[in-house]
Structure 1
Amino acid sequence: MEESAGLGRRIKRYLLTGIIILAPISVTLILLLWFVSLVDYVVGPIIVALIGYRIPGLGLITAFFVVFLTGFLSTNILGRQLLFVVEELFLHIPVLNFLYRTAKQMTEAFSSRDKMPFKSLVMIEHPGPGVRKFGFLTNHVRLEAAGGPGEEVAVVYVPTNHLYLGEIVLVQADKVTEMGLTGPEGIQFFLSAGASLPRVLTKRC
């Protein structure tokens, strides 16, 4: 009976882990297909008007060319100036400027190890005594009260839905327990629903 229950738990864990891992991949593919379709929708009629017939796969070829050209332009001074003008245009359009800035910050953060937002995996006592949660240490800030002494606090991001959603908790710096795991290792921990954690965790006070 216990063996059957253990097998059921493993199957459930594997299914959950598979869904969590495939979810961001699926979103990426959906966005890629949307971009290719958009390019095909815009460029397709122009090509038909010029040569009289539609070319299969034109959207994919054009999308690849656009991405390649953008990368090429970013490597020379003239191209960087052109991209800067386009970026400034986006930043001066209401709503679009917020979306563009947010997307750019997220892309830069996760594509650069130096800018990785999740510095390390930590453990905090939250929301009350006796309850511990894992989270990512993202920053240290100083809280200062008017006319009173300030205190150093740690900014901890606690995921509530496997990285996609979460809450930001300000914790006294000395109440944060380092677990000796890096940001990428912490991401692996959450994506595997905790299955990737070693049997023994050593707290670093």
Structure 2
Amino acid sequence: MTPLQVPGLPQPPEAPHRVSARARLRNYFLTGLVVAGPLTITIYLTWWFITLVDGWVKPLIPRYYLPDTYLPFAIPGFGLIIAFFGLTMLGFLTANLVGRSLISAGELLLERMPVVRGLYRGVKQVFETLFSTTGTSFRTAGLIEFPVKGTWSIVFLSAPPAADVTDRLPESGEYVSVFLPCTPNPTTGFFFYLPRQEVIELAMSVDDAAKLVMSAGLIQPETLPRRYPVEQAVREPAELS
């Protein structure tokens, strides 16, 4: 019993916990890092992309069309605007009959080149798959048991296997094409075919799954998997309340 404590009388309130100056400085530094880090990286990547496009496009434009020729300073992003306008016009011209005829003539010429033909086909198929609004590639995330039994990894479901591949696979129901990304770089990984019953589809989007992979599990999505039991999902909020 301390001298200030008297039995039967109200006790004096405890002194508030005082944070040291070192802890405050550490908290201020971490808070500033969390605020400035993403903003700085975003600005840096945006500036890098604009500079990269300007370096590609500006040498193709005559100097008397560039505003840098008449101004004492360079205007960043001018090449990006020209590239956006040029790609939009290319898409507009390709949508009509004359543009389609020119594209078909160019593709016919490339088809006659032995080495360039395969490269062009592969690159074109990748772009059509990634930027197609009606395609099904990488529209769903899932879980598979990998690399050993009892451990689960996130995968992305892509297009179904072709008929010649399906005919060679063992009969085990419907097969799906899956891509298993690596952490923290999801652009590398493994591609293989699996029976659909061995893949658990998730309700999270592909973007959330990619963030989960890149952050090594630090950024968790706030969604429930599609196979999450409905009874458990309803019961848990009631238990918490």
Q: Secondary structure at the match of 1:156?
A: strand
The higher relative CO (CA closer than 8 Å, separation ≥ 6) is in 1
Partner of 1:152: 174
Choose which of 183, 186, 194 in structure 2 pairs with 1:171: 194
Matches within 5 A, 1:127-142: 127-141=147-161
For residues 32 and 65 of structure 1, the distance between their equivalents in structure 2, rounded to whole angstroms, comes to 13
Q: Is 1:118 the counterpart of 2:127 in the alignment?
A: no
Residues 95-129 of structure 1, C-alpha deviations (whole Å, 9 max, x = no match): 43334333322332232231141131101011211
Greater percentage in strand = 1
CA contact under 8 A between 2:204 and 2:224: conserved in structure 1? no
Partner of 2:203: 180
Q: Name whichever of 122-131 and 29-38 sits farther off.
A: 29-38
Cα distance 1:153–1:62, how it changes in 2: closer, same or farther (>3 A)? Answer: closer
Cα distance 1:22–1:201, how it changes in 2: closer, same or farther (>3 A)? Answer: farther
Write the letter of the residue equivalent to 2:202: M
Larger Rg: 2
For residues 197 and 27 of structure 1, the distance between their equivalents in structure 2, rounded to whole angstroms, comes to 29
Q: Secondary structure at the match of 2:177?
A: strand
Choose which of 39, 56, 60 in structure 2 pairs with 1:39: 60
Cα distance 1:30–1:183, how it changes in 2: closer, same or farther (>3 A)? Answer: same
Q: Name whichever of 82-91 and 188-197 sits farther off.
A: 188-197
Q: Is 1:79 the counterpart of 2:99 in the alignment?
A: yes
Identity of aligned residues (%): 25
Question: Which consecutive unaligned segments of at least 5 residues does structure 1 have?
Answer: 45-53
For residues 91 and 26 of structure 1, the distance between their equivalents in structure 2, rounded to whole angstroms, comes to 38
CA contact under 8 A between 2:142 and 2:157: conserved in structure 1? yes
Counting matched residue pairs gives 188
Partner of 1:51: none
Which TM-score applies when normalising by structure 1? 0.65
Question: Which consecutive unaligned segments of at least 5 residues does structure 2 have?
Answer: 1-25, 68-77, 229-241
For residues 112 and 51 of structure 2, the distance between their equivalents in structure 1, rounded to whole angstroms, comes to 28
Give the CA RMSD over aligned residues: 4.3
